[in-house]
Amino acid sequence: MAISPDGQWFATSAHSEPEVKLWMVATGEVVHTLNLSNSSDRISALVFSPDSKTLATGIFGQASSAETPQTFWDVATGQNIYTLTQSANPTHHNWFSNRYLVSTIAFTPDGQTLITSDQNRAIRLLGTPRNIPESAPFQTQYKS
């Protein structure tokens, strides 16, 4: 679950479903249901951009998927803005783990960079749709 910085929205997902529900806080109603293009993928992490206009989802690709994409959604319309995948950025294939679960995602305060971490202890700095690409992953020594 994630709550938008402006307090108007919250997003929920079940790890067993390939969708996110966007709720309006004021009414408690589901305004949008965001469906992943690959029905075997699952949402593993959610975060709103600092301006509350974009929702980023960390996706866990199933065994049939060679990628672990990050998807950006327009909160107002519920439309997919951009899906960052290895095939969309073939020169930066090292960004993508070997189907490891993206466990945490966060935006930088300026909203220009998305930071992800996964079960392989890799941290990635990813440019947002207006600022792609940024960096290759690096391994950390943190203990979970």
Domain boundaries, the chain: 2-139
pLDDT at 79: 92
Q: How confident is the model at residue 133 (pLDDT cuts 50, 70, 90)?
A: very low
Question: Which tokens in the block code for residue 46?
Answer: 């959610």
Task: Note the pTM of the prediction, 2 decimals.
Answer: 0.74
Q: What are phi and psi of 94, to 5 degrees?
A: -70, -10
Q: How confident is the model at residue 85 (pLDDT cuts 50, 70, 90)?
A: low
pLDDT at 7: 97
Radius of gyration of the chain (CA): 14
22-26, 62-66, 103-107, 110-114 — which one is most confidently predicted on average? 22-26
User: What distance, in Å, lies between the first and last C-alpha atoms of the chain?
Assistant: 21
CA 133 from centre of chain:
15
CATH topology of domain 2-139: Methylamine Dehydrogenase; Chain H (2.130.10)
pLDDT at 53: 94
Strands 113-118 and 102-107: antiparallel
pLDDT at 99 over 60: no
* Mean pLDDT lowest among 25-29, 78-82, 133-137: 133-137
pLDDT at 142: 47
Mean of the per-residue pLDDT values of the chain: 75
